[in-house]
Structure 1
């Protein structure tokens, strides 16, 4: 499989795409006007403690205070008494960006990520990624880190460490140790709230987390970023240096036909090769995915048609979750299957395809209603939330009120004003469609209303207004 990392740097935005066989599978976006904080470590001030929620709000220097789960903090103390007070200083790390009305979510479990390992200060355990399945390699890696263990620091060994020499691994371990020592030193004198450590830039993060010996090329279209990446990779993985390429192309995504793939990834409907379709809808609580046969009708056996569509949908769903970075609770409504073996086959395909995803996902099973429940870890904003705003007309509902609803509402307001107030003249300012609805009645609504109440009613057309926006001007 030919896999490339493409870094497209624009005037105000940097985009990183992971491309497998010319197909975009992961997309990361960093806007200059969107302040990224995940991974940052702050010295904060506890502003408010909520015992009922077992939570605290911490000022880390942002507009909104950060949310800290005190239950996790209690676990870190190994059942010791949790004794924190308002106004105290605390070191925290952002694990989730601020979204909407909510501030960022922080944790006191600090970790510093490297290419081959994650350093966990104030811990003592050594963990190994589950994706490293070779027992001999697991034992080798564990032995290396037990021999070079840092006091009061835990380690999680990442998959990229497989096959790496002891020298390479210890070099990075010492680098992370030095970085933590600098943070600890800052803790003693810096004024809170303040930033102690900032996560590296998106191109460098892609280099650290995505660039491996299996990657064919890392292509970037910005000379300064190219120089930074060369310097960075030279320090952590010099053997990968030859994979970094500079390409002088102002719109690299357009040139490599990635732009059109992003447009497709924003569609609610996703067509399958067979003619079937999946429909993806996201709400505040969860993401719901519906599968249907659409244009695909099969040849003879209906059950085989359904099974083929559901299997094809499972492959596509795993791809879409990864590309769109959809996290949280996910419900999949497959086409109904009678055979238990068919249901198992579909679930097995879904689980197998999800293994290609670096983000942890779990299939929980099928409900009594035949819906598949699964979760995928939230690792940041979804592609939709990054590239879409709520519709100002429907405010994100996906629907607007009908003309009849709006007309009836205006009528009720007119009736109230003419019967319950002193006003004798009303002017309705609305767009053409709303005014047309009133004039489309068999008998003139205007003349009937004026006759009924003995008062004056006028309409003014203003096509700058939407259907749901209108003005009622009252005169005595």
Structure 2
């Protein structure tokens, strides 16, 4: 049983996926006006650097994007000043601009329209040759584009596939028309953002419920599932005062992802660390003393760790190079079983992941394609108090949590005064724009008393009910 939770709070959209009541994946999207993967732009080549086989493309954003020059992309003929359609494949990272490609693809539920080739290809999960032949013979492929047939296509009629192909082709022609007649570089097409991607990639026959908290998302999801004949899912709009993630206990589970230590049922644990070049995951036996021998203890810990590592990588959206240091095992069969358990954890993962066999040092290397940011990048920022050596929760995330607490207080009482404590590390940013802070925590209709404190707690929210409280705390009043 799979459930999808879609919570929109202001400019932040968060989507959580639970399977058998266990949090499996979490996605966050901020409306930051930054180029987002899947978006298609009209671009102009501003510069080409042959030494690194890279072109820099102006898409109307404040910084240029970069694009690799390669024969397989059929873009080696490009020169400065050329206009072209590009698709964003990676968000900006630090000072590095977004990555784009001229291999523009328009995704649907049953197929993907590819503009770089003119072929028909199939998902590796479609293995029945009769199904492939049936689709090849009956599909109405556009003359100037190729198609990649997705796994879901094997579950619906050929008529439905052709309807989607026609829709994707119409969309592509519209994008080309806009690109031809627009005078400046800029955005031409959005693929529905992270919500559209989740509906296309994660909604399947085992999905039983989708919860949303906004009318806009309700209508979008309703329209999608009405046309997706291969699913039967119950859609519910959340109308409680308490936010969706708090109501279903997801907020606490997300905050746990800030911990680098994850306990295993056997008593062992894993440690997840980020370095400049990669992620490292260390497996420790901890309190696991149940095994009859060292070999048994190591195997039990490693097999549980393998399952949890796959879960944590997907849940935290870790990418790039991931190095796993398992407890030493000498038996080749034990190694093979642990390796297979690790691979099993990525079978339903849509992100391309390659797992390399054990090295002589009992290390396993994982390479996972980057799709969006890791969850911590949305939640944390460098802590200036320790010169960037540590991380703290982002102020925007603190504001979201405070807003949830304020709504909870308002729900239970007719409260007109709220007392808030926030770690003084956030003082400078809050006091620079008090009104924006008040808006962020949805408190324009009440009086707010704010005190900055030292200590490990990031925030606290309490109602003020009595006149003596208001008198004692009047020096902290910042609004109302």
Q: TM-score range by the shorter chain?
A: 0.7 to 0.9
Q: Is the contact made by 2:329 and 2:335 (CA closer than 8 Å) also made in structure 1? A: yes
1:171 paired with 2:163, answer: yes
Q: 1:142 to 1:308 in 2, by over 3 A?
A: farther
Query: What is the aligned length?
Result: 392
What pairs with 1:287-298 in structure 2 (closer than 5 Å)? 287-298=279-290
Partner of 1:51: 50
Give the Cα separation in 1 of the matches to 2:369 and 2:68. Answer: 18
TM-score (norm 1): 0.78
Partner of 1:132: 126
Per-residue CA distance 1:252-281 (angstroms, 9 max, x = gap): 111111112112222100000111000001
What pairs with 1:205-244 in structure 2 (closer than 5 Å)? 205-234=197-226, 236-237=227-228, 240=231, 243-244=234-235
Partner of 2:67: 68
Partner of 1:114: 108
Give the CA deviation at 1:330.
0.8
Name which of 260, 267, 272 aligns with 2:264: 272
Q: Is the contact made by 1:365 and 1:374 (CA closer than 8 Å) also made in structure 2? A: no
Q: 1:182 to 1:324 in 2, by over 3 A?
A: same
TM-score (norm 2): 0.78
Give the Cα separation in 1 of the matches to 2:328 and 2:29. Answer: 41
Q: Is the contact made by 2:328 and 2:361 (CA closer than 8 Å) also made in structure 1? A: no
Per-residue CA distance 1:312-362 (angstroms, 9 max, x = gap): 000000000110111111100000111122111111111122213222211
> Tell me, what secondary structure is at the counterpart of 1:355?
coil
> Tell me, what secondary structure is at the counterpart of 1:162?
helix
Partner of 1:285: 277
Partner of 1:99: 93
Q: Is the contact made by 1:324 and 1:384 (CA closer than 8 Å) also made in structure 2? A: yes
1:204 paired with 2:196, answer: yes
What pairs with 1:5-404 in structure 2 (closer than 5 Å)? 5-33=4-32, 35-71=34-70, 74-77=71-74, 82-145=76-139, 148-234=140-226, 236-237=227-228, 240=231, 243-249=234-240, 250-398=242-390
Give the CA deviation at 1:195.
1.4
Q: Is the contact made by 2:42 and 2:59 (CA closer than 8 Å) also made in structure 1? A: yes
Q: Is the contact made by 1:211 and 1:218 (CA closer than 8 Å) also made in structure 2? A: no
Per-residue CA distance 1:423-442 (angstroms, 9 max, x = gap): xxxxxxxxxxxxxxxxxxxx
Unaligned runs of 5+ in 1: 400-462, 465-476
The ranges of structure 1 where at least 4 consecutive aligned residues each deviate by more than 4 angstroms after the TM superposition are 238-242
> Tell me, what secondary structure is at the counterpart of 2:321?
strand
Q: Is the contact made by 1:221 and 1:246 (CA closer than 8 Å) also made in structure 2? A: yes
Give the Cα separation in 2 of the matches to 1:129 and 1:204. Answer: 20
Per-residue CA distance 1:142-166 (angstroms, 9 max, x = gap): 3333xx2211211111112122001
Give the Cα separation in 2 of the matches to 1:207 and 1:82. Answer: 35
Q: Is the contact made by 2:35 and 2:88 (CA closer than 8 Å) also made in structure 1? A: no
Q: 1:253 to 1:244 in 2, by over 3 A?
A: same
Give the Cα separation in 1 of the matches to 2:213 and 2:82. Answer: 46
Q: Is the contact made by 1:89 and 1:192 (CA closer than 8 Å) also made in structure 2? A: no
Give the CA deviation at 1:56.
1.0
Give the Cα separation in 2 of the matches to 1:169 and 1:260. Answer: 41
> Tell me, what secondary structure is at the counterpart of 1:226?
helix
Give the CA deviation at 1:286.
0.8
Unaligned runs of 5+ in 2: 392-452, 455-480
Give the Cα separation in 1 of the matches to 2:291 and 2:164. Answer: 58
Give the CA deviation at 1:229.
2.2
Give the Cα separation in 1 of the matches to 2:69 and 2:222. Answer: 41
Q: Is the contact made by 2:120 and 2:148 (CA closer than 8 Å) also made in structure 1? A: yes
Q: Is the contact made by 1:41 and 1:196 (CA closer than 8 Å) also made in structure 2? A: yes
| Bigger Rg, which one | 1
Q: Is the contact made by 1:275 and 1:296 (CA closer than 8 Å) also made in structure 2? A: yes
> Tell me, what secondary structure is at the counterpart of 2:127?
coil
Give the Cα separation in 2 of the matches to 1:349 and 1:379. Answer: 23
Give the CA deviation at 1:396.
4.4
> Tell me, what secondary structure is at the counterpart of 1:262?
helix
Q: 1:103 to 1:264 in 2, by over 3 A?
A: same
Give the Cα separation in 2 of the matches to 1:335 and 1:197. Answer: 48
Q: Is the contact made by 2:208 and 2:233 (CA closer than 8 Å) also made in structure 1? A: no
Give the Cα separation in 1 of the matches to 2:175 and 2:291. Answer: 65
> Tell me, what secondary structure is at the counterpart of 2:382?
coil
Give the Cα separation in 2 of the matches to 1:386 and 1:18. Answer: 17
Give the Cα separation in 2 of the matches to 1:144 and 1:7. Answer: 37
Give the Cα separation in 1 of the matches to 2:299 and 2:262. Answer: 18
